[in-house]
């Protein structure tokens, strides 16, 4: 990743050839993620301007693995899943955080860093999952299920987190829920993750009464066991790697399930599989093609329109002239309540199972 130091005054210049050398193996996203030398030459002026602005303004760029490769490999200082990025947001000493992902991930960075300026370059707000529930709906549910611990996925707004007890990410959902003292859990908003959570607690022999909300991610709900079967017929040795937002029938037919960072780590370690089917947004597949070009990916590409609404042009714009809309601004009472919910996640994640 790029290195930013406040002592340096000039950023290292990236050439079109440098970028092309990194991105030439990406094939998954068709024209969206296909990089010719000519396309790289068009991208490098913005990349170099952004890298210089980061130094001048003491800013860092946090990018989720789903955003476009030119952001991940051209300008990002930190790349990862939502859990790792929330930790990176705490560790950075930069004054400005540009969060190339979705707004609620930027909100998490702001909740944890009230003194820093958090800027959101994504032109589309929210996502199908985060938009499926609001704070008033959580308050109503809490009246009905008053003795339940409310666990929210990180893909929720700050207002929703403020109404819940413990936040989780795809990297820690099973461990955190297993460690919560209360046996009654209300999980929101992802119904498939809720169902997968019930199944995993059974496997672990953890007794929990789990209820869940009805939200879904439009990217992950598209995958079906029939698609897996088809791929297995063609490639009998394929390893199927899925995200916990997929349907339970997909999870049951997978060789590995985990957060985007855990999926990447599995691929790095897995030696027996010849081909891999990644059931998640194809930004992750692009990363695999850059970082493990010798591993073969099969299957088609699915894009998340919210993540892919981050562009170099918008990153440049928010660094140069941020508007009120680009900034994360949170009500302080909401921020403090949401902070408690996120801190509970860190506490449960770091606590060893008894």
Binding site for ligand SF4 (CB under 6 A): 102, 127-129, 155, 217-219, 281, 304, 306-307
Site string for ligand 13P, 190-219 (x = CB under 6 A): ---------------------------x--
Nearer to ligand SF4, 94 or 279 (CB): 279
- Which residue matches tokens 């309540």? 337
Proportion of the chain in helix, strand, coil states, percent, rounded to 5: 45, 15, 40
Going by C-alpha positions, the residue among 181, 180, 144, 186 that lies closest to residue 164 is: 186
155 binds ligand 13P (CB under 6 A): yes
Q: What is the DSSP string of 169-225?
A: -TTTHHHHHHH-S-SEEEEESBHHHHHHHHHHHHHTT---EEEE--B--TTGGG--H
Q: How far is the CB of 304 from ligand SF4 (least distance, A)?
A: 3
Question: Which of 170, 254, 286, 311 is in the footprint of ligand 13P by CB under 6 A?
Answer: 170
- Is residue 310 within the footprint of ligand 13P (CB under 6 A)? no
Residue 128 sits in the site that holds ligand 13P (CB under 6 A): no
Question: Looking at residue 309, what DSSP letter applies?
Answer: G
Choose among ligand SF4, ligand 13P, none what residue 218 binds, the Cβ cut-off being 5 to 8 Å by kind. Answer: ligand SF4
Q: From CA 84, how far away is CA 88, in angstroms rounded?
A: 6
Cβ nearer to ligand 13P, comparing 19 with 244: 244
Site string for ligand 13P, 234-273 (x = CB under 6 A): ---------x-x-------------xx-------------
> For 232, what's the count of Cα atoms within 13 Å in the CB-facing half-sphere?
13
Q: Which is nearer to ligand 13P, 46 or 292 (CB)?
A: 292
Contact 121, 143 (CB under 8 A): no
If DSSP codes are grouped into helix, strand and coil, which group holds residue 277? strand
Least distance CB 44 / ligand 13P (angstroms): 28
**Binding site residues, ligand 13P, CB under 6 A:** 81-82, 155, 169-170, 217, 243, 245, 259-260
């Amino acid at each position: 990743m790029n290195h930013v130091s406040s002592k340096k005054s000039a950023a290292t210049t990236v050439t079109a050839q440098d970028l092309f050398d990194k991105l030439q193996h990406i094939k998954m996203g068709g024209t969206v993620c296909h990089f010719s030398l000519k396309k790289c030459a068009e991208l490098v002026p913005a990349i170099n301007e952004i890298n210089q602005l980061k130094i001048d303004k003491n800013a860092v760029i946090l990018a989720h693995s789903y955003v476009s490769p030119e952001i991940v490999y051209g300008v990002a200082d930190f790349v990862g899943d939502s859990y790792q990025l929330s930790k990176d947001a705490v560790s950075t000493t930069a004054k400005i955080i540009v969060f190339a992902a979705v707004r609620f991930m930027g909100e998490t960075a702001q909740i944890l860093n009230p003194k820093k300026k958090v800027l959101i370059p994504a032109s589309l707000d929210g996502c199908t999952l985060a938009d499926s529930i609001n704070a008033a709906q959580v308050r109503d549910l809490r009246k009905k299920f008053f003795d339940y611990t409310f666990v929210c996925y990180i893909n929720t707004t700050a207002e929703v987190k403020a109404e819940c007890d413990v936040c989780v990410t795809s990297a820690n959902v099973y461990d955190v829920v297993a460690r919560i003292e209360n046996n009654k859990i209300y999980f929101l908003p992802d119904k498939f993750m809720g169902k997968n959570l019930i199944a995993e607690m059974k496997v672990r022999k953890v007794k929990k009464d789990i209820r869940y909300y009805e939200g879904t991610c439009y990217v992950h709900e598209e995958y079906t066991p029939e698609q897996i079967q088809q791929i297995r017929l063609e490639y009998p040795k394929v390893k199927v790697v899925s995200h916990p937002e997929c349907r339970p029938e997909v999870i049951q037919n997978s060789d590995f399930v985990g957060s985007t960072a855990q999926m990447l780590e599995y691929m790095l370690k897995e030696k027996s599989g010849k081909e891999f089917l990644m059931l998640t947004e194809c930004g992750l597949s692009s990363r695999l093609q850059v970082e493990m070009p010798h591993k073969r990916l099969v299957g088609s590409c699915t894009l998340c329109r919210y993540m892919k609404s981050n562009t170099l042009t918008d990153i440049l714009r928010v660094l140069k002239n941020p508007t009120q809309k680009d900034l994360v601004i949170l009500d302080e009472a909401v921020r403090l309540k949401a902070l408690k919910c996120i801190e509970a996640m860190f506490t449960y994640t770091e606590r060893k199972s008894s």
